[in-house]
Amino acid sequence: MLKSLNNPPPDVRICFFAVLQLYVGIASVDYGIPVTRGKIGVKQEDSWKVSKNMMKDPLKFMENLNDYKRLIDEQQIPPANFASIQDIIANPDFTPEFLKSKAEAASGVCNWILNINLYFDVVINTEPKRQAVEKAKIDLAEATETKQTMEALVAELQAKLDVLMGQYQAAMDKKQGAEDEAARCERRLSLANRLVSALGSEKGRWGDAIVQLTSDQEVVHGDVLLASSFVSYVGPFNKAFRDMIINDNFLKFFKDNQIPMSPKCDPLDILCDAAEVAQWNNEKLPSDRVSTENGAILTNSDRYSLIIDPQLQGITWLKEREKASNLQVTRLSNNRMVKILEAAIEAGNPVMIENLENSIDAVI
């Protein structure tokens, strides 16, 4: 190969010196490479003789170079071999192109050194990562299988849990229903006890009421006659005249003719009760005695009452009283009065005509 080079240039020697470095500990004895403490035991400038001995059989040398990849794959190459040539590879002049001008064979060997170094770097640095990826894939597959197994187990347990939760909820609903029914029965029992107690206390009052009603039957004619007379005759008068008419006329007449009546007969007790009076007061009727008597006369008369209302107390009460009945308020001067009357009559609603004067429209 390089038989014609008895004394090659240093650049070529460096190239083959690098090859010697790569074979330290592998074919050191075969190639006669002196080794000291795992490193080549000859200086770079004195290495050509050993290099020629390594290449004395070119075919064998080529086979060894081609077989070097296998040694790397089998991890038979000490990493120190490649570490020792990194300074040579880092030289900018260590390229196949540069060495080709020195020697054709050196260019090829340089190309082999660069590529085998790259391959060794891939095997050392990338292969472990690839193996780690493969192992990770295997671990992932195992973890996925374990996960699927656990998910199936969880789904099975969840289904059982759902059944148990359904049964638990049904039991809780039944329990709540029983508690609600017990509470309802307890409330009914409490109300029943209260009713029994109340009825027990009412026994005496009902007995007194029977006695009172029995006595009232004897005087009811006079009381009703007094109330009827009150409604019919005392409405136009004020309080003083009303008391005079009742005491000096009605009561005197009843006594003279021996008409039975209550000892303290009050027409308002016959015409209305406390609840009605309270309702009238809520409807803005004044709470004085005369206003209450006027309300009793108005609500118990078969004829329409004439109300003289200078203070507008009566009209205020009537408006409030009939508000729920959709009271319609109008005047003779209203152009729509007739239509309002017609609509109210058809709907059955009350109508109030304000500010009537001495003359009334004939249409009314």
Q: Where are the domains of the chain?
A: 10-140, 322-364
CB 16 within 8 A of CB 48: yes
CB 21 within 8 A of CB 84: yes
Q: Facing residues of 35 across strands?
A: 40
CA angle 326, 332, 333 (to 5 degrees): 110
CB 2 within 8 A of CB 108: no
Q: What is the DSSP letter of 325?
A: G
**Per-residue pLDDT for the chain (364 aa), expressed as one digit of tens each?**
444 455 677 777 777 777 777 777 665 545 556 665 656 656 665 567 667 777 777 787 788 788 888 888 878 888 877 887 888 888 887 888 887 777 777 788 888 888 888 888 888 777 677 778 888 889 888 888 989 989 999 999 999 999 999 999 999 999 999 999 999 998 998 888 888 777 766 666 776 667 666 766 777 888 888 889 888 888 889 889 988 988 888 888 888 888 888 878 888 888 899 999 999 999 999 989 989 989 989 889 888 778 888 888 888 998 898 888 899 999 888 889 889 999 999 999 999 888 888 888 787 7
Query: How many Cα atoms are found within 13 Å in the side-chain-facing hemisphere of 312?
Result: 5
Count other Cβ atoms within 10 Å, centred on residue 275.
8
Identify how many contiguous H helices and E strands the chain contains and give both numbers.
16, 4
What amino acid is encoded at 353 in this protein? I
CA angle 193, 199, 201 (to 5 degrees): 105
